[in-house]
Structure 1
Amino acid sequence: MATEVLMPRQGQSVESCIIIEWKVNEGDVVTEGQTLCEVETDKATFEVEATAAGTMLGIFYPAEADVEVLKVIAAIGEPGEDISALRPSDESAEEKPETGNVKPEEEPVVQEAPASSFTSQVSNFSGGVSPRAKNLAEKKGVDATTLAGTGPNGRVIERDVAAAQAVTPAAQAKAAAEGLDIPATGTGLGGRVVAADLGSTGDMHVAPTMDFPGATKEIPVKGVRKVVAGRMLASLQNTAQLTLNTSADARSVLGYRSKCKAAPEEAGVGGISINDVVLYATIKTLGEFPELNAHMLGDKIVEFDNVHLGFAVDTPRGLMVPVIRYANLMTLKQLSAETKRLAMACIEGTIDPDALSGGTFTVTNLGAMGIESFTPVLNAPEVGILGVCSIQPKPVMKGSDVEFVPHMGLSLTFDHAAADGAPAARFLASMRIKLAAFELTLAG
């Protein structure tokens, strides 16, 4: 009997995976445990292995197909076996896959204007709505049946709703009655599209029709880039973001880092970085300001007793934010080790997708790149995100003299709908104190 190969579930938050490349062709003999294909979630890349030895009797989805988890993607068995019962009925599986060494025929790229009218959006809806997408749509006030789904068979999944813009019922009715286009953003609260916005395109991301001289390259927006784009846009549209900037005396931090580098190897502190120090001080400060270690969920704010700290990692595939679970219960050495483990897993593409969600506060560090001040974008529904900037000399009055003291820039973005400016400013003041006397912070 033929053995089915399933699209594996890569974490509880993953609904589908994109097949990047098939490593085998139909008819190839494979061994158990052999890599059959590479798949990509919206967060990481994984290999799918053969669950049995035999002949590849069927490959049911082509490269670039977005396949729902636990779907049958291939079949392995003895030559001549009937696999019709295993073959999926999805429209996306009807195309013959491009596998192995088969070189796909190049086709000219044709740019089409996005279907933006209300009536065309409704007519394109055929694949259903996932439960997670339905819950998010209810929170955002988005009609999921008007969205073009990017999931398997046109299914609307959570990321489609996250990137969608809310449209008022009046605007929907007017668009349907008069055949008007619905712009991607509106003039209503949080970018909501109202009736007065109809008739204008409103979408600055539509490519202009004019020709540009010279060669160009089109890069599909997918995978991590697509997820980041959708989340950042949704964050700015749906939260009241405000950024406060300050700087902290960095002499104590630099001194502690020098001591760690000079310490004997058996002490195990040589690998502690300035970023580890900042993360540790952030965790200690969040214990004093629970209103920033929180989620803003529309009609309620959830404050957390423990700190699950997210930190931004630059990877070849794009920005990732792994989460250090129960960071408030760790020593500095434990925190440093866990930070390095998660960062390396992100860079290598082996991170567990569940490790990329569930944060209560985020830190993003651009200091190594010489950035002196910036405006971090909230990782909604988190209430706060701290941007860490470079260390620069700052003139400080000492009596009647001026002394140049190294200072580290700090930029705190917070959701003003959930927290006021005064506690946010006090958070930064406490951070400055902890960084200026870090060894006391460590002892406390």
Structure 2
Amino acid sequence: MANPVIMPRQGQSVESCILTEWKVQPGDTVAEGDVLAVIETDKASFDLESTASGTVLELFWEADDDVPVLANVIAIGAEGENIDDLRPATESASATALPATSSTPESSAVQSTVAADQSPASAPVDLSTTSHVPSSGVSPRARKKAMNLGVDAETLVGTGPGGRVIERDVDAFLAGTPRLSAAARVRAKEQGLEAPVRGSGIAGMALASDMRQPGAIEGAEVEPVKGIRKLIAERMMQSLQGTAQLTLHSSFDVTNCQKYRKKRLADGESKVSINDLIAQAILAALQNHPEMNAHFLGDRLAVFHEVNLGIAVDSPRGLMVPVVQEASKMSLEMLSSEIKKKAIACREGTIQPDDLSGGTFTLTNLGMLGVENFTPVLNVPEIAILGVGGISLKPKKNEEGEVSFVDQISLSLTIDHQAIDGAPAARFIQTLVNHLENHPGENPQKIEGEE
């Protein structure tokens, strides 16, 4: 009896996964535990492993399909077994014919008809997208001119009476498309390729070697936006379109933080980074300003008792934001250790989906890349995110009025103005800076509250 392999649930908040790459094809023999495909959530990538042994009978989805969790993905069994009852109910018609890898005349015809419907009748028509569009006849003059110039008049959209192709239709087509050689015309029809603005042949004729995929751009390598990159793009646009983002800028004197780090090493304690000290300072500031530790839900504002701190991580697969759960209960050593573990898991691709959700406040740091200031984008529905820049030498006046140059780090706090005003956000930054300059390394509960 054939067995299905289902799309596993990668965390409680994940409803679907993108199937980015198949590792097997129908007819392959697999064993339990073999990698069948690579799948992605909106945050991380995973291997889909086989839960059965046998022959791959059918792949129910194509690469880049968004597959619901718990849906059947593939059928494995003995050759010739019936698998009709295993096909997922939501399977698209195109997903049942995975082995096909080239365009057929029928599919080209459908694409050509759609392209023609979306274009004005009088516009120049691309041969590659209209290679099977029927016309209502071709005038003798248009046919003769088209033959002399290497154009198939039957592929043009006519603007004459009843859709008849007339001479001006040939001229309009040639205005936007070079003449095609015989081999180029074959490639255009059979492979759905298009010509560049000017070919490499005599008088700009397009040769077979000039033909390219539709949408190609001269001098550039064009790749589709997909997978995590596509999801990140969608999330960023949702964030900017659905929130009223305001960014406040400040900086702090890093002198005491540097002294504290050196003292820890001299005392034989574990090494901590400036980023760790900033993360702990966020926890201290949120104790005094809990209204910043919240989600804005349109008609509701959820203010959380504990801080689940998101840490933006640059991984090989794109931006990820692992969450340190209940960070507000941790000592500096625990916090530093958890941040390192989450970052390593993101970069190695072993982070779990549940570790990438549930944040209440986010920290993002580009200082190590030499960036002094930037405007972070909210990780909705959170109402605040803190951006950290690099160290720079800046003048500072002391109480006696003397000016000296000290190392300072810039801070950029983006808030959702729908949920919080500028003044309380500014007070949050004041508390944060005070902790970093005067109390680095102290646990949040040791800092007295502020009004």
Letter in 1 for 2:323: V
Does 2:373 align with 1:373?
yes
Deviations 1:386-408 (A, max 9, x none): 11111111111233432111111
Deviations 1:86-122 (A, max 9, x none): 1235225544325xxx9x5599x99999x99xxxxxx
Structure 2: how far apart are the matches of 1:106 and 1:15? 32
In structure 2, what is the equivalent of residue 246 of structure 1? 250
Structure 2: how far apart are the matches of 1:92 and 1:290? 52
Kindly state the Cα deviation for residue 309 of structure 1 after the two structures are TM-superposed.
Answer: 0.8
Structure 1: how far apart are the matches of 2:224 and 2:352? 25
Kindly state the Cα deviation for residue 213 of structure 1 after the two structures are TM-superposed.
Answer: 7.6
Deviations 1:388-433 (A, max 9, x none): 1111111112334321111111111112221122211111111111
In structure 1, what is the equivalent of residue 24 of structure 2? 24
Deviations 1:237-281 (A, max 9, x none): 2222211111111011112223344554xx4x12x2111111111
Letter in 1 for 2:428: F
Structure 2: how far apart are the matches of 1:440 and 1:18? 42
SS in 2 for 1:36: strand
Letter in 2 for 1:217: E
Structure 2: how far apart are the matches of 1:300 and 1:226? 29
In structure 2, what is the equivalent of residue 8 of structure 1? 8
Cα gap change, 1:17/1:406 in structure 2, threshold over 3 Å: closer, same or farther?
same
Aligned CA RMSD, in angstroms, stands at 2.8
Note the residue ranges of structure 2 that are not aligned, 5 or more in a row: 119-196, 198-214, 447-451
**Are 1:61 and 1:92, in contact at CA under 8 Å, matched by a contact in 2?**
no
Kindly state the Cα deviation for residue 77 of structure 1 after the two structures are TM-superposed.
Answer: 1.5
In structure 2, what is the equivalent of residue 73 of structure 1? 73
Cα gap change, 1:418/1:44 in structure 2, threshold over 3 Å: closer, same or farther?
same
Structure 2: how far apart are the matches of 1:317 and 1:263? 39
In structure 1, what is the equivalent of residue 397 of structure 2? 397
Structure 1: how far apart are the matches of 2:287 and 2:435? 13
Does 2:329 align with 1:325?
no
SS in 1 for 2:412: strand
Note the residue ranges of structure 1 that are not aligned, 5 or more in a row: 117-208
Letter in 1 for 2:430: A
**Are 1:60 and 1:93, in contact at CA under 8 Å, matched by a contact in 2?**
no
Structure 1: how far apart are the matches of 2:22 and 2:71? 16
SS in 1 for 2:288: coil
In structure 2, what is the equivalent of residue 141 of structure 1? none
Does 2:288 align with 1:276?
no
Letter in 1 for 2:85: A
Cα gap change, 1:422/1:88 in structure 2, threshold over 3 Å: closer, same or farther?
closer
In structure 2, what is the equivalent of residue 258 of structure 1? 262
Structure 2: how far apart are the matches of 1:94 and 1:227? 22
Deviations 1:264-320 (A, max 9, x none): 4xx4x12x2111111111111111101110111112211111001111111122111
Cα gap change, 1:262/1:420 in structure 2, threshold over 3 Å: closer, same or farther?
same
In structure 2, what is the equivalent of residue 58 of structure 1? 58
In structure 1, what is the equivalent of residue 416 of structure 2? 415
Percent sequence identity over aligned pairs: 50
**Are 2:40 and 2:228, in contact at CA under 8 Å, matched by a contact in 1?**
no
Given the two structures, how large is their TM-score scaled by the length of structure 2?
0.70
**Are 1:391 and 1:408, in contact at CA under 8 Å, matched by a contact in 2?**
yes
Out of 187, 212, 221, the residue aligned to residue 225 of structure 2 is 221
Cα gap change, 1:432/1:218 in structure 2, threshold over 3 Å: closer, same or farther?
same
In structure 2, what is the equivalent of residue 233 of structure 1? 237
Given the two structures, how large is their TM-score scaled by the length of structure 1?
0.71
Query: 1:424-443 maps to which residues of 2 (within 5 A)?
Result: 424-439=425-440, 441-442=442-443
Deviations 1:152-208 (A, max 9, x none): xxxxxxxxxxxxxxxxxxxxxxxxxxxxxxxxxxxxxxxxxxxxxxxxxxxxxxxxx
Cα gap change, 1:296/1:362 in structure 2, threshold over 3 Å: closer, same or farther?
same
Structure 2: how far apart are the matches of 1:42 and 1:35? 20
**Are 2:17 and 2:66, in contact at CA under 8 Å, matched by a contact in 1?**
yes
Structure 1: how far apart are the matches of 2:5 and 2:242? 40
Kindly state the Cα deviation for residue 71 of structure 1 after the two structures are TM-superposed.
Answer: 1.1
SS in 1 for 2:88: coil
Structure 2: how far apart are the matches of 1:384 and 1:92? 44
Structure 2: how far apart are the matches of 1:313 and 1:81? 47
Letter in 2 for 1:277: L
Cα gap change, 1:75/1:283 in structure 2, threshold over 3 Å: closer, same or farther?
same
Cα gap change, 1:281/1:336 in structure 2, threshold over 3 Å: closer, same or farther?
same
Question: Which moved further from structure 2: 11-20 or 280-289?
Answer: 11-20
Structure 2: how far apart are the matches of 1:346 and 1:46? 12
